[in-house]
Amino acid sequence: MSESSALVLFSGGQDSATCLAWALERFDRVETIGFDYGQRHAVELAQRAIVREKFADLKPYWREKLGDDHTLDLSALGAISETAMTREIAIEADTKGLPNTFVPGRNLIFLAFAAALAYRRGLTRIVGGMCETDFSGYPDCRDDAIKAMQVALNIGMDARFVLETPLMWIDKAATWALAQEIGGSALVDIIRTDTHTCYLGERGALHEWGHGCGQCPACKLRADGFARWRASKD
């Protein structure tokens, strides 16, 4: 396995796109993986190829580093998930105070499948956009959960994977700032116009912060982060 290779969990959204840019700056070979689990906002999957191609055009050495893309069918996860991410129901808090957009076990399942693919592909770093700062309370986005998963994967596969989470301790405003630092206004513009975050799958008009309904938790986080980032530059 190459120590300078990575597999990025790339959904087509803002956070994972920023992580992909981050990985392309650091590793010699970068592959991507996406998951079709019957998500309500499946439009994000359609955006993945668009973003990858625009990234490749942005910096010639990114094109050289960017390897294969993989999309896995995890429809079984959607079939057992009675959530607002996989059903046409209103977004609200559940009895535990968690938003019903939480898909139990999703990130853990994603990481297990990503590690299985990385093992076969000879990739040592697995990069994800999990974050404890702006994470809607999802327990599988916490640093402790990711660290525990890294231990389990390495024991179970007799491997030495490193789970990289470059956004873990930064908020959405800092995520926009990171994109600016990595690729300037050109990268920010790709992320703003071509990634998809809206839980309802709405593209519609282009807002200052990107496409989306503007009302779901994901849109609100993205819009608020963009506004705070822009304000910090003034």
Which residues have a Cβ under 8 Å from the Cβ of 127 and sit 6 or more positions away?
Answer: 6, 7, 8, 9, 19, 20, 22, 23, 163, 164, 165, 166
Least confident stretch, 152-166, 169-183, 198-212 = 198-212
Of 230 and 3, the one with more pLDDT: 230
Q: Is a pLDDT exceeding 60 seen at residue 1?
A: no
CA angle 164, 170, 174 (to 5 degrees): 115
How far is CA 120 from each of CA 1, 77, 113, 157, rounded to the nearest angstrom? 9, 23, 11, 11
Please report the pLDDT score of residue 43 as a whole number: 87
DSSP state of 99: B
pLDDT given for residue 83 in this prediction: 66
Query: Is residue 152 included in any domain, yes or no?
Result: yes
> What confidence tens digit (pLDDT) does each residue in 218-228 have?
899 999 999 99
Residues in contact with 49: Cβ distance below 8 Å, sequence separation at least 6, in sequence order: 69
Amino acid sitting at position 18: T
Q: Is the pLDDT of residue 115 over 60?
A: yes
Per-residue model confidence (pLDDT) at position 86:
64
Q: E strands along 40-161, which residues? A: 66-73, 123-127
**Percent of the chain clearing pLDDT 90 (strictly above):** 72
Q: Which domain holds residue 117?
A: 2-171
pLDDT on residue 103: 73
Mean pLDDT of the chain: 90
Instruction: Enter the tokens of residue 112.
Output: 């297990």
- 58 part of a folded domain: yes
Q: How many percent of the chain have pLDDT more than 70?
A: 88
- 2 pLDDT higher than 60: no
Question: Is this structure's pTM higher than 0.85?
Answer: yes
Judge whether 33 lies within some domain: yes
Tell whether 227 is covered by a domain. no
Assigned domain for 80 exists: yes
CATH of the domain at 113: 3.40.50.620
Count of the separate structural domains present in the chain: 1
Task: Flag the least confident range among 19-23, 61-65, 134-138, 166-170.
Answer: 134-138
Looking at the domain assignment, is residue 208 inside a domain? no
Please tell me the least confidently modeled range out of 93-102, 133-142, 181-190.
Answer: 93-102
Is 143 part of a structural domain of the chain? yes
Q: pLDDT tens digits, residue range 55-109?
A: 999 999 999 999 999 999 988 887 777 665 665 656 666 666 666 666 778 899 9
Note the residue count of the chain: 234
- Cα of 106 vs its chain's centroid, Å: 12
Q: Is residue 81 part of a domain?
A: yes
Give the mean model confidence (pLDDT) for residues 130-158: 90
